[in-house]
Amino acid sequence: MKNEADFIKKLLNPRQRDRAFVKLLDLYQERLYWHIRKLVVSHENANDVLQNTFIRVYKSLPNFKQQSSLHTWMYRIAYNEAIRLLEKEKNKTHFSVEGLEERHLDNLVSDDYFDGDEAQLKLQRSLLSLSEKHRNIFQMKYYDDLKFREISDILDIKENTIKTIYYSAAKQIEKYMLEVTLLEIKE
């Protein structure tokens, strides 16, 4: 966004807030949806989390301290809302982390909105082989194209740690993809 400071003033001005918020929705709705979708996997859950995210953003705007960009602040809210839903789902279903991840993969494959091929399915499996932290950082950098500094601000983790985790995750994914491909060739 070119002039974020002016846009934030409009968001904080009670007379301009609603119109500016509609513009905010137009600018960020799709990007935040896909960020959330990668975390919660299903379309329905992503829509629920997205709605909760924008409700929280709207209510929290007067408290926005502008210590980070508006973009980073909203991603952090979206991330926290997604994690909140996943924790709630994990507690409600009493699945182990592995069971929940397999359930997410099954949901992804059966989802009408998933149009991926076998390679994308392998990539999703490789992502599920990562720890949650590694997976989330990889997805934010690789798919959302966030800068390491932004991911650091969103997750409140040191930037160098984010870099280390990202490159480690990339190597693990590469290794997984190669192993799966070699196993398929042997069959």
Q: What was the pLDDT predicted at 90?
A: 75
Angle at 24 between CA 73 and CA 52, to 5 degrees: 65
So what's the pLDDT on residue 138? Answer: 94
Q: Which residue has the tokens 């984010």?
A: 162
Q: Which residue has the higher pLDDT, 48 or 123?
A: 48
pTM here is 0.76
> Which range is least confidently modeled, 16-30, 114-128, 147-161?
114-128
Asked if the model's pLDDT at residue 44 lies above 80, the reply is yes
- Span 15-23, average pLDDT: 94
Say which CATH topology domain 1-115 has. Rna Polymerase Sigma Factor; Chain: A (1.10.1740)
The pLDDT score that the predictor gives to residue 121 is 74
What per-residue confidence (pLDDT) applies to 158?
96
Can you tell me the distance from the alpha carbon of 68 to that of 169, in angstroms, rounded to the nearest whole number? 26
pLDDT in tens, 130-148: 888 999 999 999 989 999 9
The 10s digit of each residue's pLDDT in 88-127 is 887 776 555 455 455 555 555 555 555 555 677 778 788 8
Domains of the chain, by residue range, sit at 1-115, 117-187
Q: What percent of the chain has pLDDT over 70?
A: 80
In CATH, the architecture of 117-187 is Orthogonal Bundle (1.10)
* Percent of the residues in the chain that have a pLDDT greater than 90, as a whole number: 55
- The span from the first CA to the last CA of the chain, in angstroms, equals 51
